[in-house]
Amino acid sequence: MKAARLGSQQLFTYALPALPLAVPTVGLYVLLPTWYVEQGGLALWLVGLILMLARVSDLITDPLIGYWLDRGRPVRYRQFILAGAVLCLPGLALLVLPPAGHAALSLLLGSTLLYLGWTLVQVPYLSWLAALSPESYQRARAASLREGFGLIGLLLSAVLPAAGLMLALSTQQVLWLIAGFTLLPGAWALWRLLHCLELPAQEMSNCSGADWKSLWRNRPARILLQSWFWNGIANGVPAVLFPLYVTRTLAGSEADRGLLILVYFGAAVLSLPLWLGLSRLFDKADLWRGAMLFAICAFLPASWLGAGDLYWFMLVCVLTGLALGADLALPHALQAEVCDWDRFRYRRQRRGLLFACWNGANKLALALAALIGFGLLNLADGFVPEHSDVLLAILYAGIPCVMKLIAIWRLRHYPLRTRLHARLMQRIQLSLPK
């Protein structure tokens, strides 16, 4: 029996929260740390340590929230998202208005509360994808639109600080501006999600205990998690080294950075319909592997560029941006299929836990990407300072290509293909009570 096509209102309602959730990105990762160093008087290493400790807490809370989400009634989706939204408010207040003389404590408590609230919203929101439709293509449509809105939110997060500078606002005022663009549209988008979209149903009873052994024995989940992790590092390393690469290797300006970011994410947004259409013709795992291989071929020339090659790098941004669209749309649809396989194989609903594990793996990958990128660059600057710009270009493009090759290789024996998933869903539908 063919699943009903998701309507435009359903898709819009589900995807819209991704936009405001992406708006704080630049403020949290770029403006806030520098502001605490310059205005709060904290040492750079202390700010980095505090933010790392707050982020590491996500590796514990993500799977716990996913586990509790699966063991509760469907209303827990609403409860977790509302609780997360409420927790973000004091966290944001502590970060933007630190008490005098307690900047370090305020940064630690504020970022921990904000990350916890963010996780409480994000884990139910991401895992909701698996419950939208039993048909993989409909899920891919929802994931593509969601990631498209997320990219628009990222672009907005880059535009707001620039607009604040043009209006001669202080960093603190810019942070409040970002908060306003996050909280007000975010509250409306989450209200629509919770009141206009049907909550995920509990279709199968849950067994007691998380049963981590059976989760690890889920071969499709294990392979996809590993590919997702290595690809996350591959995308994270150039993200953290991008500002240095543009200024030191290409001799570009801050305005050039903004233009290149716009080109990169703009190409990704425009490519989403292309990857969505191709997913109807080709197996999604093979298509994702092909997209990663295309990204390697397009990105590797960046290691050979130098001063004056800005226009060549713009072409690299266009091509790799096109490949990024596949990273955003295809893996999420594959993750939802793995949830179906896990439900069929182990007779329990664990989509919250599975999506929480993928979410945690992505956060760990981004943290390691910063450590690898900055650590190797620091070593290069120390040993061969006269060639540091050349080595920066090699690190910027070389490491991601190696990581993507590992992700491609790990995905080579991925067993849950599109046709197998279609047959699996037929058996699941037949086993459900009428």
- What is the maximum alpha-carbon separation in the chain? 72
What does the alpha-carbon distance between residue 356 and residue 70 come to, in Å, rounded to a whole number?
Answer: 11
Contacts of 283 (CB under 8 A, 6+ apart): 417, 418
**The amino acid at 233:** I
Closest CA to 212 of 202, 227, 220, 222: 222
What does the alpha-carbon distance between residue 45 and residue 264 come to, in Å, rounded to a whole number?
Answer: 31
Contacts of 298 (CB under 8 A, 6+ apart): 316, 319, 320, 322, 323
Residue 266: its pLDDT value, please? 85
CA distances for 277 relative to 3, 137, 224, 309, angstroms: 18, 9, 22, 34
At 22 the three-state DSSP class reads: helix
Residue 294: its pLDDT value, please? 97
pLDDT tens, per residue, the chain with 434 residues: 455 688 889 999 999 999 998 888 766 766 677 678 777 787 766 776 787 777 777 888 888 888 888 887 888 889 999 999 999 889 888 888 888 888 889 988 988 898 899 889 988 998 888 888 888 788 888 988 998 898 888 888 777 877 776 777 777 788 888 888 888 899 999 999 998 888 887 654 444 445 666 677 788 888 999 999 999 999 988 887 887 788 888 888 877 877 888 888 889 889 989 998 998 899 999 999 999 999 999 999 999 988 889 999 999 999 999 999 999 889 988 888 888 888 888 777 788 888 888 888 888 887 778 777 777 776 766 555 555 667 788 888 899 999 999 999 999 989 888 788 778 777 766 665 54
Closest CA to 272 of 235, 324, 227: 324
What does the alpha-carbon distance between residue 429 and residue 427 come to, in Å, rounded to a whole number?
Answer: 5
pLDDT, tens digit, 9 for 90 and up, residues 226-258: 999 999 999 988 887 887 788 888 888 877 877
Read out DSSP for 122-135? HHHHHHTHHHH-SS
What does the alpha-carbon distance between residue 154 and residue 25 come to, in Å, rounded to a whole number?
Answer: 7
Helix (H) / strand (E) element for 41: namely: none
Residue 423: its pLDDT value, please? 81
CA distances for 89 relative to 117, 125, 181, 341, 345, angstroms: 9, 19, 14, 38, 41
* Contact in structure between 117 and 86 (CB atoms under 8 Å): yes
Other C-beta atoms closer than 10 Å to the C-beta of 183 total 17
At 198 the three-state DSSP class reads: coil
Residue 169: its pLDDT value, please? 78
Residue 395: its pLDDT value, please? 85
Scored b (16 or more CB within 10 A) or e, 81-91 reads bebbbebbeeb
Half-sphere exposure of 12 (CA within 13 A, CB side): 6
To 5 degrees, how large is the angle CA 93–CA 96–CA 100?
A: 95
* Contact in structure between 316 and 298 (CB atoms under 8 Å): yes
